[in-house]
Amino acid sequence: MKRIVIFASGSGSNAENIISFFSDNPSVNIAAVLTNKSSAKVLERCDRLGVPAFYFNKPAFKDSNAIVDFLRGLQTDLVVLAGFLWKIPENLIKAYPNKIVNIHPALLPNYGGKGMYGDRVHKAVKDNNETETGITIHYVNENYDEGATIFQAKTVIEPSDTPETIAQKVHRLEYEHFPKVIEKLLS
């Protein structure tokens, strides 16, 4: 059995989508969801879905091996970042080389880097009059949004689109493709 741990910082819609996708798969287990925000909505989603969820603070994440030890204790095969906003520390990257994946709401290398997440990305895409955007699923390395690309999907931006409608289009791509790419990585 392959074991996934999801990291999320916010509402957890991508986490829920991944959990639902694998719920009937006997060879994949969502072992836990970890969050860096004690008030994150993802905790409520996990409670409703019956998935163990845990909050951790910055010192546990950045200044110790607590998270690495926790992941090893769960026999984690793949770490999935689904709306997780903190930079991954070196000890975690070294413990799970090419086993940490992230989804970014743009076509990297464009609109990536520190501070480029969520609505900020969609606003920048609109402000620059882009004609397309999309998602990038990539491995995580020591820099924000610079790991090797695994998969990209695109969507057209109409002149009438707003940052909100762009976000909706990008979310549809995330929900459609992220679980399938994870499944391929596990096989």
Catalytic residues: 104
Tokens of 7: 């990291």
Question: What is the strand order of the sheet 2-8 is part of?
Answer: 53-55, 28-35, 2-8, 78-81, 100-104, 132-139, 149-156
Burial class of 47 by CB neighbour count within 10 A (0 to 12, 13 to 18, 19+): exposed
Whole-angstrom distance, CA of residue 87 vs CA of residue 143 = 8
Tokens of 133: 């955007």
